[in-house]
Structure 1
Amino acid sequence: MSNSRNITGSLGIGITSSNFKLHVAGDDNAIKISGSGNFEQYGHLNFGDGNYVYLKEDVDDRLTIRANRIALDGGNVGIGTFNPLKKLSVTGAGGLLVNSTNIGSGTFDWIAGNFGGSSGSRVVTGILNGVATIGGHASDLSSWNNLSINPGGGRVGIGTSFPSNQTLMQVVASATNDNWVAGFFNTANTSGTQCNGIVINAGNPAGNNFSNMISFNRPDGVNIGAVGQSGSGSVSYSTTSDIRLKEIFIRQNSA
């Protein structure tokens, strides 16, 4: 005798009329799927042919969803929250963990996340050649693109959580001996080609009030020199003590 039953029409449990093939009505404990495990885990709910799409309690109190594509159509999704405010809201310790197949070195599949609009450039993050990287990319992720940080204002700190109120960007690092806090490298340095370094746009058209282009301070904040605009078309070097800038010299006889 077969354990299966072929029922035509609709089957109602707790209800006498339904438009669905199976309709279970009653209290909150409507349907239970039990498996063969010690805690009744391993229960399956399959869809379609074969064993390609299913819900399964593979470990006690843990659910696996298997499908080639999962689409949540409409509304917001909340993880750790009953009130998701965006399409995906994640709340809880640890936040969001995203891994690509990159092994922590090289360039293969280095982009772990890319963000943007329905078209145009993307912001990408991941591990590139073993280094945590953020950048701008083309919409198809085939090439690098422009990246803007705080275009509307605010201060940027590198190596510090509290950038100085006197600067829009502050770099804080420890560098001794032959090391430097920051460096600018023009990788197009080739013989016979103009390879520019740094351009600074500051000052004013008339050249009034000696606008500092670059200022040099001691670690205690005392200014010891500056390169600034000394006229509408000139710059000069200002320092507290530099023999090259003295106008009156008196030679001292040797003792």
Structure 2
Amino acid sequence: MKQLRFSLLFLFCVLITVPAAAKGKTKVIAHRGYWKTEGSAQNSIRSLERANEIKVYGSEFDVHLTADNVPVVFHDSKIQGKHIQTTPYAELKDLKLPNGETLPTLEQYLDRAKELKNAKLIFELKSHATPERDREAAKIAVDMVNSKKLGKRTEYIAFSLEAAKELHRLSPKTPVYYLNGDLSPKQLKELGFAGLDYNYKVMQKHPEWFKEAKDLKLKINVWTVDDPEVMKEMIESGVDFLTTDYPEEAQKAVLLYR
């Protein structure tokens, strides 16, 4: 009887501690949403919905300002030959994504995100033509996220150091990550950023940054990790987040290797 009680107690302890341990695992971010799936497309609202359905940690998306200050969700600088940042929204609004959706505005994207409950919003603010324009874009972005009451679900990322600093200044409680790969963890800590969000090749060149970041209590995200062997390497190196075009495969890799 005592042995049975001990076995049951041990099983109970295991069951209640598994979720806590799982919290320490590498979390998966869908790069430009979950778009490598039927009916989806990069940065489409459907890609956000699909990322939410598979319960990834976050869905990453890219935002440009049009010439007349309308934030739109798209990765490339041009859509169907039109340069987004120098074109008024009226000339872009009817353009289609590969899945048939029209080019989404940030407002449309966030309105749909409010209806979904799982995925964090990994908001990449694209670099703009000047530091002044970067700062203006950051303000428009933060104001819109806050107006939708999505600040707690949002994390900002940027290649532009000017944009990243302005995002942190405007929203100091929201995690901001720098993408460019040219600053050490110590430098990022001094700037007040939540961590580094670097191409995995940068981390392969600077393996010492894994420990340095952890010692400084900074988070580590790596992108864009699509190769299974690199997934294994990064997960075993202890990254906090892994950004990928293959989120379901990455979720399986996390279960295998962490």
| TM-score, L = length of structure 1 | 0.20
Indicate the structure with greater strand content.
1
Indicate the structure with greater helix content.
2
| TM-score, L = length of structure 2 | 0.20
Please identify the structure whose Cα radius of gyration is greater: 1
Higher relative contact order (CA 8 A, sep 6+): 2
